Amino acid sequence: MKLRSAMIVMPLLLFLAPLTANAREETANFEITGGNTYELKEVPKIDFGSQTKDSGPGTVNNLAETNLKVFSNTGKAWKVTVSEEGFQSEGRKLIGAKLGFYSNQVNSFEAIGEAYGNEVSLGGTGVNIEVMNGETGAVGTFLLPFTNDQIKLEFPDTTPAGTYTNKLTWNMTEE
């Protein structure tokens, strides 16, 4: 019996020995240069069209669906802010108007990490207000969509007739 046991063990040792002796490790390398970017790809297009004002304050929706779209591949935390000068007509500033962005559902495309949207209301103060942000490690394309009723303009009952414009400034920065 001992002879049989030795014969069974020896072939196993011979079979294992060549695999260990011939094993090698190599490292696969590659380098990507440049290309670490972050950018605003698209900002919301806003048009409330022509409105007929009755007595009392008014609220109107944006005419179309639109998006805030960003791209980042740096791996750093980032944020998107918006500021406004306020609605004006013929040099008169419209006091009491509020422009609101009411969506916080961010969609991602070929992305890693999390990004968040914030519902905000602007009142013509010129202050930067955070609309969207990505945490450290958030890379890829992120989209904050707005249906037409998620961008609203509220204006007071004292609003005179006129054509009003408002300059919005969108900024994307890394933190």
Predicted pLDDT at 13: 43
Predicted pLDDT at 11: 43
Structural domain boundaries in the chain: 38-174
Spans of the chain, pLDDT less than 50: 1-17, 19
Predicted pLDDT at 119: 95
Predicted pLDDT at 56: 75
Q: Any idea which architecture 38-174 has in CATH?
A: Sandwich (2.60)
Predicted pLDDT at 20: 57
* Residue of 74, 54, 81, 77 whose CA lies nearest to 155: 54
Predicted pLDDT at 84: 94
> How far apart, in whole angstroms, are the C-alpha atoms of residue 147 and residue 149?
5
pTM here is 0.79
